[in-house]
């Protein structure tokens, strides 16, 4: 009876060319398609208070962000002096920055949408490359190499371009690939700015409208909207950095969407050191409007796409306390974080980029008129090559 269940000999394939062909075809079909990498670039932040010293050391050593004389000597000294104070600030917001959590979550949500909407470039895999805190650029590149990535999109999480933020991240990306011998490992394209992306504007507008709805009908129209962005040294601004203009473009688009419903100003926060920075400073604006009798101020973090130290401590604790001391009611609109409208906008941004086949924007190829940084020239040459 057992013979009835034996496979006939013709089905037991011989070890000939036909069998080798089938095996080769099966192997080719089974080989997974390499993922399209979406690399989310940002400054980053210490996930725990213990990482503050490392974070500050990297931050003050970056001449693209904070140009100071004798940087290799002064940067470690400044970082050591500031570490205890900054550790206390992170302790007040829960012991660390949530920026890694939010950036990784944004990336995962982006993956899911892109896999559905862009099957031709699927699967998509998100990576985070922070400038000053883990996961640093080297760690990210090594993970991409291990995952078999061939095609990669560098997506800045700074909507408005600055040489101090996106530019610094791209310089670091290029330098690290060169050091690791990975300059030919991936085919890159860059999304380097998106200050007026429609869903970005819509998300900001909706968050402002929700916050304004919390005021009484008598107060609402007089609430002053304070669009606050991270400031820049005037030496960087005067060099020709496009950041102030691009931040202003975002503010203008948001106010147009709101129908210019409220009075507003663009202001600047997070200055460091004694040199001149772009103003007016957020703290001075609060004090100035208090003297003018303005009672309700609503802060809109217009250059940030997730919560971190600048929103959770600087605005929510320092500026709120300052406002109370001056008899002003200061509130902040909710950060973008994982808002579905914002995430859909990110997906559309990447989808449109992938479909057009654009490598870099026209603007990325144009250096600041007073730029003397050779790293910027090398970076643009590398990413812009055909």
Does residue 256 have an active-site annotation?
A: no
Does residue 353 have an active-site annotation?
A: no
**DSSP structure class, residue 215:** S
Does residue 43 have an active-site annotation?
A: yes
Angle at 205 between CA 301 and CA 215, to 5 degrees: 85
Task: From the candidates 59, 136, 232, 346, give the one annotated as an active-site residue.
Answer: 59
Task: From the candidates 65, 141, 170, 349, give the one annotated as an active-site residue.
Answer: 65
The two tokens of residue 266 are 């663009």
**DSSP structure class, residue 140:** H
Cα dihedral across residues 8, 11, 12, 17: positive or negative: positive
Alpha-carbon gap, residue 239 to 237, rounded angstroms: 5
Would you tell me the crossing angle of helices 52-60 and 71-92 to the nearest 10 degrees?
Answer: 140
Cβ contact 190:154 at 8 Å: yes
Q: How far apart are the first and last CA of the chain?
A: 69
Does residue 310 have an active-site annotation?
A: yes
Task: From the candidates 51, 246, 307, 316, give the one annotated as an active-site residue.
Answer: 307
The two tokens of residue 344 are 């859909």
The two tokens of residue 66 are 């904070």
Task: From the candidates 90, 127, 132, 161, give the one annotated as an active-site residue.
Answer: 132
Task: From the candidates 62, 111, 314, 316, give the one annotated as an active-site residue.
Answer: 314
Task: From the candidates 310, 312, 319, 339, give the one annotated as an active-site residue.
Answer: 310
Does residue 230 have an active-site annotation?
A: yes
Does residue 88 have an active-site annotation?
A: no
Task: From the candidates 100, 124, 131, 239, give the one annotated as an active-site residue.
Answer: 131
Does residue 65 have an active-site annotation?
A: yes
Does residue 41 have an active-site annotation?
A: no
Does residue 314 have an active-site annotation?
A: yes
Q: Residues 6 or more apart from 2 whose CB is under 8 A from it?
A: none
Alpha-carbon gap, residue 164 to 243, rounded angstroms: 9
Task: From the candidates 193, 230, 332, 380, give the one annotated as an active-site residue.
Answer: 230
Active site residues: 43, 59, 65, 131-132, 230, 307, 310, 314
């Amino acid at each position: 009876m057992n013979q009835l269940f034996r496979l006939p000999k013709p089905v037991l394939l011989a070890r000939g060319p036909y069998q080798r062909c089938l095996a080769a075809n099966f192997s080719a079909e089974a080989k997974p398609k390499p993922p399209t990498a979406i690399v989310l670039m940002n400054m980053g932040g210490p996930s725990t208070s213990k990482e503050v010293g490392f974070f500050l050391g990297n931050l003050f050593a970056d001449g693209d962000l904070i140009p100071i004389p004798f940087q290799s000597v002064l940067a470690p000294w400044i970082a050591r002096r500031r570490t205890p104070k900054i550790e206390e600030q992170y302790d007040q917001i829960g012991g660390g920055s949530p920026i890694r959590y939010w950036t990784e979550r944004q990336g995962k949500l982006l993956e899911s949408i892109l896999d559905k909407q862009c099957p031709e470039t699927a699967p998509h895999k998100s990576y985070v490359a922070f400038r000053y805190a883990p996961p640093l650029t080297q760690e990210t590149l090594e993970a991409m190499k291990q995952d078999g990535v061939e095609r990669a999109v560098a997506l800045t999480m700074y909507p408005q371009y600055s040489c101090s933020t996106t530019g610094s991240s791209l310089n670091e990306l290029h330098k690290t690939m060169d050091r690791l011998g990975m300059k030919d490992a991936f085919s890159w394209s860059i999304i380097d700015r998106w200050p007026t992306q429609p869903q970005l504007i819509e998300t900001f507008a909706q968050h402002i409208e929700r916050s304004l709805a919390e005021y009484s009908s008598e107060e609402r129209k007089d609430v002053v909207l304070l669009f606050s962005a991270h400031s820049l040294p005037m030496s960087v601004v005067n060099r020709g950095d496009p950041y102030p203009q691009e931040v202003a473009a975002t503010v203008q688009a948001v106010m147009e969407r709101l129908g210019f419903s409220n009075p507003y100003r663009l202001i600047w926060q997070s200055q460091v050191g004694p040199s001149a920075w772009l103003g007016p400073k957020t703290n001075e604006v609060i004090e100035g409007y208090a003297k003018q009798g303005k009672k309700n101020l609503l802060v809109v973090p217009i250059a940030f796409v997730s919560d971190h130290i600048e929103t959770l401590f600087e605005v929510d604790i320092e500026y709120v306390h300052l406002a109370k001391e001056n008899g002003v009611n200061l509130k902040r609109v909710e950060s973008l974080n994982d808002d579905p409208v914002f995430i859909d906008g990110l997906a559309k941004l990447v989808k449109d980029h992938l479909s057009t086949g654009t490598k870099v924007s026209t603007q990325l190829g144009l250096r600041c008129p007073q730029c003397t940084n050779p790293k910027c020239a090398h970076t643009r040459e590398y990413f812009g090559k055909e």
